[in-house]
Copies of this chain bind each other. A is one copy, B any other.
Amino acid sequence: MRIAVDAMGGDFGPKATVPGALRAAGDFGVDIILVGIESVIRREVERSGFPKARHTIIDAPEAIGMGESLLAFRKKKASSIRVGAQLVKDGRAEAFVSMGNTGAVVYLCRDVLGSIKGVDRPALALLVPGVEKQTLLLDVGANANCQPHNLVQFAIMGKIFMEAVGGVPDPRIGLMSIGEEKGKGNDLVREAFDRLQASPLRFIGNVEGKDLFSGAADVIVSDGFTGNVALKVTEGVVESVLSMARHEVTKNIFAKLGYLLLKRHLKKIYKKVDYAEYGGAQLLGLDGVCIIGHGRSNPAAVRNAIARAREFVANRVQERILMEIPRYEHALKGVTA
């Protein structure tokens, strides 16, 4: 299996992507294609400690900044993101992995690869680790504005992903809302509720923000605006609780001792809830496999993202979405149509 990796993406760039990718090559027996500025990549390969790992380099001399705007990046024909997506399009790689600017990766992958037949809008899906089991949340930011049928498509794709990759039989689908009863929510959610209820999916109704971690649903669907806000709130809460904890313990010697004893365990929890760690989000419904890692990814997280890409390809998620989408034609057209 050949996996293209955007060597230039992420807050740490090639210093994290190159050693992470080469490590993955050895660990998973995949061929890595490093895409980016060749001279920079070569240097990092030498430094990585795995210079012999199976890899090739494809030169892509234009960089896209983490905060760069659509107007700027879409003109760059030789950016590592565009070149990486093109490798998948041309059948020269089975998947593309990037830790780069999420907006740019979503836009360029959509532009280069397009959607699977039957899917209007690919969605960015993230596995959120709960206390007991993980939940797939989608969309987490690819589509700020959604229509009811988009949410139904997200639900179908989420179901297939959780069956194929998560090993969950007949996943429970929840709809992100602000109250569990039918009728709660905004217009989008109320209409999507009816369509999901009329579908053959195992729809369990509305869920709330707190259910992101409760394990109440295996898949939670949401428009990309709400999903992204929810995700970033998570990040903020965890950071502020930890910051308060650090501040709190300086006040008292016993608390300080307690913190030291507990520190290793608190870090473990932080890793569990920190989505930078767990290998990135998948663009479901794209005609080609693309995994987007967190900008903050270290080499271990880059390796995890490549593991996700490999799982995704090995479990034939794309083919299954393509095959199953037509079964839901009724729900996609809407109950009133």
A residues with CB within 8 A of B? 67, 69-70, 103, 130-131, 141, 144-145, 176-179, 181, 183-187, 189, 208-214, 222-226, 228-241, 243-245, 247-249, 251-252, 254-255, 257-266, 268-269, 272-273
Across the interface, name the chain B residue whose C-beta is closest to A146: B186
Whole-angstrom CA separation of A126 from B248 in the bound complex: 24
Q: Is the CB of B236 within 8 A of A209?
A: yes
Whole-angstrom CA separation of A265 from B211 in the bound complex: 26
Whole-angstrom CA separation of A183 from B70 in the bound complex: 10
Query: Which residue of B185, B233, B258 contacts A260 across the interface (Cβ within 8 Å)?
Result: B258
Q: List 17 A-B contacts (CB under 8 A).
A: A69-B181, A69-B183, A130-B240, A141-B178, A144-B186, A176-B229, A186-B225, A189-B225, A210-B236, A211-B236, A214-B236, A229-B230, A237-B273, A245-B266, A248-B268, A257-B258, A258-B258
Chain B contacts of A263 at CB under 8 A? Answer: 258
Whole-angstrom CA separation of A209 from B264 in the bound complex: 27
Q: How far is the CB of A58 from chain B (nearest CB, A)?
A: 29
Q: Is the CB of B235 within 8 A of A209?
A: yes
Q: Is the CB of B261 within 8 A of A235?
A: no
Interface centre among A177, A184, A214, A262 (most CB of B within 10 A): A262
Whole-angstrom CA separation of A290 from B224 in the bound complex: 33
Q: How far is the CB of A268 from chain B (nearest CB, A)?
A: 6
Q: How far is the CB of A266 from chain B (nearest CB, A)?
A: 7
Q: A179-B103, A228-B178, A258-B259 are in contact. Are A265 and B249 (CB under 8 A)?
A: yes
Chain B contacts of A187 at CB under 8 A? Answer: 144-145
Within the oligomer, what is the number of copies of this chain? 2
Chain B contacts of A266 at CB under 8 A? Answer: 245
Q: How far is the CB of A127 from chain B (nearest CB, A)?
A: 15
Q: Is the CB of A234 within 8 A of B237?
A: yes
Query: Which residue of B176, B224, B254, B265 contacts A248 across the interface (Cβ within 8 Å)?
Result: B265
Query: Which residue of B130, B234, B241, B257 contacts A273 across the interface (Cβ within 8 Å)?
Result: B241
Q: How far is the CB of A71 from chain B (nearest CB, A)?
A: 9
Interface centre among A214, A237, A266 (most CB of B within 10 A): A237
19 further contact pairs, Cβ within 8 A, besides A258-B260, A259-B262: A67-B181, A130-B240, A131-B243, A131-B244, A144-B186, A177-B229, A186-B223, A209-B230, A209-B231, A209-B235, A213-B239, A214-B236, A226-B226, A233-B233, A233-B234, A241-B269, A257-B261, A258-B262, A261-B261
Q: A230-B229, A257-B261, A258-B259 are in contact. Are A238 and B241 (CB under 8 A)?
A: yes
Chain B contacts of A245 at CB under 8 A? Answer: 262, 265-266, 269
Interface centre among A209, A249, A264 (most CB of B within 10 A): A209
Chain B contacts of A257 at CB under 8 A? Answer: 258, 261
Q: A248-B268, A261-B254 are in contact. Are A208 and B186 (CB under 8 A)?
A: no
Q: Is the CB of A269 within 8 A of B244?
A: yes
